[in-house]
Chains A and B, each alone.
Chain A
Amino acid sequence: MPADTQWPTFEVFQQDRPGRPHKNIGSVHAPDAEIALQNARDVFVRRPRCHSLWVVPATAILARTRQEIEAGILEPLRADPAGATETYLVFQKRNQRNAMEFVEHVGAVEAYTPEQALARAVDTFGLDSGWVWWVFPERAFARSAEEDIPSMFAPAETKTYKRPQEYRTLTMMKEVRRG
């Protein structure tokens, strides 16, 4: 038996429609980003709708809850270490009550380090605006392309037998009761 590797974790972000934010819907294991995208499609896009998927190695993400930030885990803003700044994408979970509130893309900041990016994000958006905060460098993620839509996402739209409303069980039961 070969070593049963489970491979690194990639967090998966789905965009339902153009213009909507990418939201974190779960994770997959894969040996690289290309296969992570394929796995993400198989696991999470068995139903419409999806316009775009992003995958990001979990190790590239700095994730903190508001509670952790308040507890002082956040490093202070330090001025420029060596090197250049880069773009970090900022994600937040903004609502706390509903089940369907995801960690979703809200913007971007320029920073030298992930810690600094998080501090900048908190500064920009205000700590009270998010319950969960994620940042990762823009270069870290892989994404599906516009031309992947027909092969990756469109087939789910045609499989109408997966829609509950395709089954007329309510009407059928009414007919049975009427005899």
Chain B
Amino acid sequence: MQENDPTYEEKLAAFEARIARGEKIEPGDWMPDAYRKQLIRMISQHAHSEVVGMLPEGAWITRAPNLRRKMVLLAKVQDEAGHGQYLYHAAETLGISREEMLDQLLSGKAKYASVFNYPTLNWADNAIIGWLVDGAAIKNQTMLARASYGPYSRAMVRICAEESFHMKQGKEMVILYAQGTPEQREMVQDALNRWWWPTLMMFGLPDGESHHSKQLMRWGVKTRSNDELRQEFVNEMVPEIHALGLSVPDPDLHYDVETGDWVYGPIDWDEFWRVVKGDGPCNAERMAARRQAHEDGAWVREAVQAYAEKAADSRAISREAGG
């Protein structure tokens, strides 16, 4: 136990002073066990979310309406695979292996963003996911790019730079739908109605109920609260949604002249917990697809292994031959 170390308090004070000075903590530096543990939890969940996040949109690649949209969606889903890898790498610097993390995901032990347990029912869902879900993710990730742990913040900066295209391709489609035929407007409104609340839940529990938040903010992992980010997102989105002639599926939504905030109605946290605990519309489907992909990829891993062994053999032979 780290706390049994007689110099623990001194080390903790020095660590917190570094964070207060805005220094980055790097692998090898002293850090409290709880900081390491929280980061592993956060970063691995984040990585799993990128990996599972490929599935709702990935299902639409073969049904893209034209070649440009198909290339865009392919690139976006490919980015998410890459982002998962950046994040697994960042978590590995804290002493967990990628294998352990993948096991946790495939065995159903690990959590990932509950928003990906909702279905994508038509092409307009891809438009709304890009605009809302990626838009919300960028808010959170922009904050995390300033996180006190060096490898996490560096991964986040790369991710943010790549995500901004995800958001904009979605927004472009939403704008076009909103200016389209009555059927197209109806499609995009329907998608917005279904994704609005799951998107607001992405920011996490309200400030008073988020147990991890206080420590994460104290140690510079998070620099802004869940409610603060959620409100900022709503304030930015609502005027644009209205400008497009679309509506927000929230009868309580109103503008507060005093604060300048768009005040939203109650979020159904019971639904959130149901989905997190496995009872969402697509939890079982997502996990089955993930496991299937892992098993279907087994021959690739075998082939890569065989190729590397063959290459090693031929290097050995050429050395023996003095080549």
Interface residues of A (CB under 8 A from B): 1-2, 4-6, 9, 25-32, 34-35, 42-44, 46-47, 63-65, 67-68, 93, 96-97, 99-102, 131-132, 159, 161-164, 166-169, 172-173, 176-177
Contact present for B243 and A173 (CB under 8 Å) = yes
Measured between beta carbons, the chain A residues less than 8 angstroms from B240 are 173
Q: Collect the chain B residues with CB atoms within 8 Å of residue A132's CB.
A: 26, 28, 150
Nearest-CB residue, chain B, relative to A45: B82
Across the interface, do B92 and A99 meet the contact criterion of CB distance under 8 Å? no
Judge whether B175 and A99 touch: CB under 8 Å: no
Given contacts A1-B295, A31-B307, 14 further A-B contacts (CB under 8 A): A26-B154, A27-B89, A28-B89, A31-B305, A35-B307, A43-B86, A46-B78, A47-B162, A63-B28, A64-B28, A99-B154, A132-B26, A167-B165, A176-B243
A32-B311, A99-B146, A161-B72 known; A169+B26 contact, CB < 8 A: no
Cα–Cα distance between A30 and B243 once the two chains are bound (Å): 50
Q: Which of B183-191, B254-262, B296-304 contacts A (4 or more CB under 8 A)?
A: B296-304
Q: Which of A2, A9, A32, A162 is close to B165, meaning CB atoms less than 8 Å apart? A: A162
Interface size grouping (class) on chain B: 35 or more
* Contact assessment for B298 and A177 in the assembled complex, using a CB-CB cutoff below 8 Å: no
B168 at the interface (CB under 8 A from A): yes
Give the residues from 10 to 24 in chain B that come closer than 8 angstroms, CB to CB, to chain A. 22-24
B27: Cβ under 8 A from any A Cβ: yes
CB distance from A121 to the nearest CB of B (A): 16
Q: Is B104 an interface residue (CB 8 A)?
A: no
- Are A2 and B311 interface neighbours, CB within 8 A? no
Task: Say yes or no: is B122 at the interface (Cβ < 8 Å to chain A).
Answer: no
Instruction: Across the A-B interface, give the 3 residue pairs with the lowest CB-CB distance, nearest first.
Output: A31-B308, A167-B168, A99-B153
Which residues in A have their C-beta under 8 angstroms from that of B98? Answer: 6, 29
Chain B residues in 8 Å Cβ range of A131: 23-24, 26
Report yes or no: B308 in contact with A65, Cβ–Cβ below 8 A.
Answer: no
Q: Does B171 contact A (CB under 8 A)?
A: yes
Chain B residue contacts of A9, Cβ below 8 A: 92
The answer, among A44, A63, A102, A166, for a CB contact under 8 Å with B27, is A63
What residues of chain A lie closer than 8 Å to B146, measured between beta carbons? 99
- CB of A96 within 8 A of CB of B97, answer no
Of all chain B residues, which has the CB nearest A73?
Answer: B28
Interface of chain A, main secondary structure:
mixed
Q: Which residues of A contact B169 (CB under 8 A)?
A: 161, 167
A152 to chain B, nearest CB (A): 15
Complex Cα gap A31–B165 (Å) = 33
Name the CB-closest residue of A to B172.
Answer: A167
B71 contacts the other chain (CB 8 A): yes
- B308 proximity list for chain A (CB < 8 A): 30-32, 34-35
Please, which residue of chain A has its CB at the minimum distance from the CB of B306? A31
What does the 1/0 interface line of B153-170 toward A look like (CB < 8 Å)?
Answer: 111111001101100110
In this assembly, does B79 line the interface, its C-beta being within 8 Å of a C-beta of chain A? yes
Bound CA span A138–B68, Å: 44
> Given that A2-B301, A96-B23, A100-B157 are known contacts, is A163 also in contact with B244, CB under 8 Å in the complex?
no
Which residues from chain B contact A44 at a C-beta distance below 8 Å?
A: 82
| A97-B22, A162-B75 as given contacts; A26 in contact with B165, CB under 8 Å | no
List B116-158 residues whose CB lies under 8 Å from chain A.
145-146, 150, 153-158
Instruction: Tell me whether A172 and B175 are in contact (CB under 8 A).
Output: yes
Counting chain A CB atoms within 10 Å of each CB, the highest count among B89, B171, B305 belongs to B89
Which residue in A6, A30, A93, A97 is a CB contact (below 8 Å) of B99?
Answer: A6
Q: A26 contacts which of B72, B86, B145 (Cβ < 8 Å)?
A: B86
Chain B residues whose CB sits within 8 angstroms of the CB of A166 once the complex forms: 165
- Closest B residue to A36 using CB positions: B308
- Whether a CB of chain A sits under 8 angstroms from the CB of B179 is yes
Question: Which residues of A have CB within 8 Å of B72?
Answer: 161
Across the interface, B97 reaches (CB within 8 A) one of A6, A163, A169, A173, namely A6
The smallest C-beta distance from B97 to any residue of chain A, in angstroms, reads: 7
Beta-carbon contacts of B68-98 to A below 8 Å, as 1s and 0s?
1001100100110010011001101000011
Q: Which of B68, B90, B305, B312 is packed against the most chain A CB atoms within 10 Å?
A: B305
Is B178 interfacial (CB-CB < 8 Å)?
yes
Q: Does A169 lie within 8 Å of B162, measured CB to CB?
A: no
